[in-house]
């Protein structure tokens, strides 16, 4: 996850964003489910509307296998054979699930002046529908372990930071061809998200946030079609660690509080209220959702772990410890099930 921790400090941030915690309660669906069973939509058929088909079950084991497959390629650093092989695998997998796939290829300049090949992958289900929902995650991994105590110049495995969000989305994508109702669904797998300026590497760090999330910046300037928009967007970043909890991220509350409220209520209805906390924290300096909100004006939220031990990101962040030992199927299932239900219930 390339999102940098903001140095303004948590206390200041809580004061600045505290008013976002006063949300109006929004109606949502009351859900009940058994493990590995479709989720019923209780309000189906109400007010003369036809009943929605049950939400298909989200397989955490399948999502875990998709994370493992990415890690097996090795670090997915832009411009490397491992990165290209993983991208080819993702494209083939998404096409196999019935998606129309668009690839955005360009050259971007990293913080150190190095030119990097960029390859965004866009998977679209029912692309003829103007009404859309956008899901996104980055698939590249950090080219150096700048938060580690050793081997700082070597790339990281990126199981959680990159792999987890992609694994969840591919598992959701497995069901999208069957979603014949409501808006079409787009998945954006962004590239060159995690090649940002390391902390303390340069003096002019006030501009370092611009060196992250280059793939989503490119997408926001070059959408897949003129006038592209979506009802809402959901970004997944670092969503696979054991015992992970998710607070209401402050930029999400600034740009899309109603989306946060609905997704968090869906999580609670599915029994995941212990993970999706009803509190707001300012701990993300920048991430892929910023450009989507600011340039495309699509209200987009970031589901990202807030680690109680570090008061920020998971301890494995940008270290060599970010491997499959971090990943837990219970977390993948909680996040994936919540996002799948949030998308499926859209009419």
- What are the structural domains, with CATH classification, of the chain? 10-25+52-344 (3.40.630.10)
For residue 312, the SS3 value is strand
Compute how many other C-beta atoms are within 10 angstroms of the C-beta atom of residue 9: 10
Q: Spell out, as residue ranges, where the chain has pLDDT lower than 70.
A: 1-37, 40, 42-47, 200-207
Q: So what's the pLDDT on residue 33?
A: 34
Q: So what's the pLDDT on residue 34?
A: 35
Q: Which residues contact 289 (CB under 8 A, 6 or more apart)?
A: 136, 216, 233, 235, 251, 252, 255, 300, 301, 302
SS3 assignment for 245-259: CEEEEHHHHHHCHHH
Q: What is the pTM of this model?
A: 0.88
pLDDT tens profile 298-314: 999 999 999 999 999 99
On whether the CB atoms of residues 56 and 175 are closer than 8 A, the answer is yes
């Amino acid at each position: 996850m390339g999102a940098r921790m903001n140095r303004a400090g948590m206390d200041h941030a809580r004061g600045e964003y505290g008013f976002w915690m006063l949300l109006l309660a929004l109606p949502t669906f009351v859900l009940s489910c058994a493990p590995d069973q479709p989720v019923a939509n209780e309000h189906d058929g109400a007010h003369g509307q036809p009943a929605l088909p049950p939400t298909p079950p989200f397989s955490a084991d399948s999502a875990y296998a998709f994370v493992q497959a990415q890690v097996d390629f090795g670090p997915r650093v832009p411009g490397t054979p491992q990165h290209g092989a993983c991208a080819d695998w993702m494209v083939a997998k998404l096409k196999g699930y019935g998606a129309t796939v668009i690839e955005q290829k360009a050259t971007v300049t990293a913080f150190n002046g190095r030119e990097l090949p960029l390859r965004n992958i866009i998977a679209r289900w029912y692309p003829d529908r103007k009404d859309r929902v956008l899901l996104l995650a980055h698939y590249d991994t950090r080219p150096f372990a700048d938060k580690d105590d050793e081997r700082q110049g070597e790339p990281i495995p990126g199981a959680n930071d990159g792999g987890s969000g992609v694994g969840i989305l591919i598992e959701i994508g497995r069901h999208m061809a069957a979603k014949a109702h409501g808006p079409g669904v787009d998945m954006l797998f962004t590239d060159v998200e995690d090649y940002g300026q390391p902390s303390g590497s340069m003096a002019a760090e006030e501009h370092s946030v611009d060196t992250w999330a280059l793939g989503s910046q490119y997408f926001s300037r070059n959408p897949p079609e003129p006038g592209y928009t979506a009802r809402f967007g959901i970004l997944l970043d670092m969503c696979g660690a054991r015992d992970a909890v998710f607070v209401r991220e402050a930029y999400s509350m600034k740009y899309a509080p109603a989306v946060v409220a609905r997704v968090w209520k869906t999580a609670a209805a599915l029994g995941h209220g212990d993970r999706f906390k009803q509190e707001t924290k300012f701990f993300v300096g920048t991430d892929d959702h910023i450009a989507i909100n600011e340039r495309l004006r699509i209200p987009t939220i970031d589901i990202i772990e807030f680690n109680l031990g570090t008061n920020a990101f998971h301890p494995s962040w940008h270290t060599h410890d970010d491997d499959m030992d971090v990943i837990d199927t219970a977390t993948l299932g909680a996040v994936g099930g919540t996002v799948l239900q949030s998308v499926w219930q859209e009419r």
